Structure 1
Amino acid sequence: MPQKPLRVASVNVNGVRAAFRNGMGEWLNGRDVDILAMQEVRAETSDLENLLGPDWNILHDPATAKGRAGVALASRDKANIHRVTFGPDDFDSAGRWLEADYEWNGELVTVVSTYVHSGVADTPKQDEKYKFLDAMLVHLPMLREHNPLALVVGDLNVGHRTLDIKNWKGNVKRAGFLPAEREYFDKFLGAEGDPEYNRGAGLGWVDIGRRWSGEVEGPYTWWSQRGHAFDNDTGWRIDYQLATPELAATITNYTIDRAATHAERWSDHAPVVVDYDL
């Protein structure tokens, strides 16, 4: 009997211990997730094991600096192999790129959990962000060559198009919506206005959120904790699932699990949950 679709959820947890204190466990218990990708874990592997419990197989790449960044993949089945090497030898990508191969219904699927630097315009932090995006340009074709069923998920910290940020006019000089950052996504997916955008342009990757939602504002995945950004839905769409065309052709559902109220949030990001019918 064929298995159900593969359900992949991705979320920047903004500190996994705090997220679980505020309700992440209850969300996870009700979502029937097969592979969970987390960013900004900011904890030890033992913390993940204690929080998730024995039913999950956990891969974790912590950041070099304790209490910063950190990416993880948790799954119901063990990964066949995983890799954390990314970028030039002199580039510290620890806690920001974790990829693993999983078998699902007889198919091999490669999933990457990644956390791109937030950056600050015209500072060394922005230089590090560009180094990371440069490394992605090199690595994404290699990932597709490794496996035509590949998926890069996580907090990519860039709004690609004006549709992806509510107040985009006020953020054109701010990290996350700088023209130079958005050009990387033009190379990944194709540029806005290109007839082949999100259908094979650029490096050929597919933005699942935009393909599913269409040409609409948002739907957003992150809201500032300041003011009434969440209540007013003044958000950014910076959390992605980028798939190869072969994997994108299998999607059957895409959901952003936005909390019903500000008080019910357990992270400043909302989970992005996608079903792939392999």
Structure 2
Amino acid sequence: MFKLTSLNLNGLRSAATKGVADWVAELAPDCICMQEIRVQASDIEGRFEEMAGLRGHFHFAEKKGYAGTAIYSKHAPSDVVVGWGDKEFDAEGRYLELRFDTPKRKFSVISCYFPSGSSGEERQAAKFRFLEGFFPHLIELKKTREFVLCGDINIAHQQADLKNWKGNQKNSGFLPEERAWMTRLLDAGAEGAGLVDVYRLLKPHTTEECYTWWSNRGQAYAKNVGWRLDYHLATPKIAALARHEAIFKTIKFSDHAPITVDYEFEL
């Protein structure tokens, strides 16, 4: 089995003080994708190059204490791709791809941190720019290789993916345009990207147990008033090998829960 985990950390240093390394050691994934690591190369040196025996790879944001992605892997990649070629969003450290190529398969694990638009119109406009540019990138990537994109997508796709869907239809993360983008991403037709939402493949009907993020306001976590914002998005051949998923709601390194999927193949 290939065990793949994704987690928005809301700060690698913060998560380290809460025992993330011990949890990773216990979970023993092949790869763990992290988003919002909020560190620079100088913060990694001598401290975070490895975690629980996994080697770390990183895409740092230019702005200190902001965004950034990482992948810790048990397996040495054949190539590391830092950024997806968009100057604006590569400066924010939002895309990291490890390639594991063999004679039998060209396969990538991607850690991606989609922008949030919740802070206002300017960031929502940036989010729409990201979605517009990222879609063709994924289509082109899918033409040449299999992959799983893990990340904080910052979009709840369907009504089942958040508690208060009626009250959030005009809020970032559940806007009609964002949801339509996700629908197109998962559309196997000529206009779509043909990717697979792996969690929904395995658990098509779950509601409250699917949430991976809870607001810090009120008692959202205690009342499980959550959103499903963290995904595994895979090419169809890889998605077909998914066997088991787990959302670790009680693990609290940030306001997001880790999500793990076991795939029936080995690198």
In the superposition, the TM-score normalised over structure 2's length comes to 0.90
The structural deviation recorded for 1:92 is 3.2
Q: Aligned partner of 1:24: which letter?
A: V
1:235 aligns with 2:235: no
The structural deviation recorded for 1:84 is 2.4
| Corresponding residue of 1:14 | 10
Q: Aligned partner of 1:268: which letter?
A: D
The separation in 2 between residues aligned to 1:83 and 1:212, in whole angstroms, is: 29
The separation in 1 between residues aligned to 2:247 and 2:260, in whole angstroms, is: 6
The structural deviation recorded for 1:103 is 4.9
| Corresponding residue of 2:114 | 116
Given that 1:63 and 1:70 are in contact with CA atoms closer than 8 Å, whether structure 2 keeps it comes out as yes
- Give the direction of change, closer, same or farther, for the CA distance of 1:93–1:37 in structure 2 (3 Å limit): same
Describe the SS at the equivalent of 1:73: strand
The separation in 1 between residues aligned to 2:9 and 2:102, in whole angstroms, is: 26
The structural deviation recorded for 1:228 is 1.3
For residue 43 of structure 1, the aligned residue among 26, 39, 42 is: 39
Please list, as runs of the form range in 1=range in 2, the aligned pairs for 1:70-219 lying within 5 A after superposition. 70-89=68-87, 91-94=88-91, 95-103=93-101, 107-120=105-118, 123-147=121-145, 149-190=146-187, 202-218=192-208, 219=210
Alpha-carbon deviations, 1:104-142, whole Å to 9, x = none?
Answer: 896442011000011137611111101111122111111
- Give the direction of change, closer, same or farther, for the CA distance of 1:135–1:87 in structure 2 (3 Å limit): farther
- Give the direction of change, closer, same or farther, for the CA distance of 1:46–1:62 in structure 2 (3 Å limit): same
Describe the SS at the equivalent of 1:160: coil
1:276 aligns with 2:263: yes
The separation in 2 between residues aligned to 1:237 and 1:13, in whole angstroms, is: 16
Q: Aligned partner of 1:81: which letter?
A: D
- Give the direction of change, closer, same or farther, for the CA distance of 1:229–1:54 in structure 2 (3 Å limit): closer
- Give the direction of change, closer, same or farther, for the CA distance of 1:104–1:254 in structure 2 (3 Å limit): farther
| Corresponding residue of 2:53 | 55
Given that 1:221 and 1:271 are in contact with CA atoms closer than 8 Å, whether structure 2 keeps it comes out as yes
Given that 1:189 and 1:200 are in contact with CA atoms closer than 8 Å, whether structure 2 keeps it comes out as no
- Give the direction of change, closer, same or farther, for the CA distance of 1:121–1:168 in structure 2 (3 Å limit): farther
- Give the direction of change, closer, same or farther, for the CA distance of 1:58–1:121 in structure 2 (3 Å limit): closer
Describe the SS at the equivalent of 1:30: helix
Structure 2: gaps of 5 or more residues: none
Query: How many pairs does the alignment contain?
Result: 261
Given that 2:89 and 2:130 are in contact with CA atoms closer than 8 Å, whether structure 1 keeps it comes out as no
- Give the direction of change, closer, same or farther, for the CA distance of 1:141–1:119 in structure 2 (3 Å limit): same
The structural deviation recorded for 1:87 is 4.6
The separation in 2 between residues aligned to 1:258 and 1:96, in whole angstroms, is: 24
The separation in 2 between residues aligned to 1:150 and 1:86, in whole angstroms, is: 14
Given that 1:87 and 1:135 are in contact with CA atoms closer than 8 Å, whether structure 2 keeps it comes out as no
The structural deviation recorded for 1:45 is 3.6
- Give the direction of change, closer, same or farther, for the CA distance of 1:229–1:201 in structure 2 (3 Å limit): farther
The separation in 2 between residues aligned to 1:102 and 1:254, in whole angstroms, is: 22
The structural deviation recorded for 1:240 is 0.3
Structure 1: gaps of 5 or more residues: 191-195
Alpha-carbon deviations, 1:218-269, whole Å to 9, x = none?
Answer: 410001122211111110000000000000011111111111xxxx622110
The structural deviation recorded for 1:201 is 8.1
Q: Aligned partner of 1:241: which letter?
A: H
Given that 1:102 and 1:108 are in contact with CA atoms closer than 8 Å, whether structure 2 keeps it comes out as yes
The separation in 2 between residues aligned to 1:146 and 1:238, in whole angstroms, is: 27
The structural deviation recorded for 1:97 is 0.9
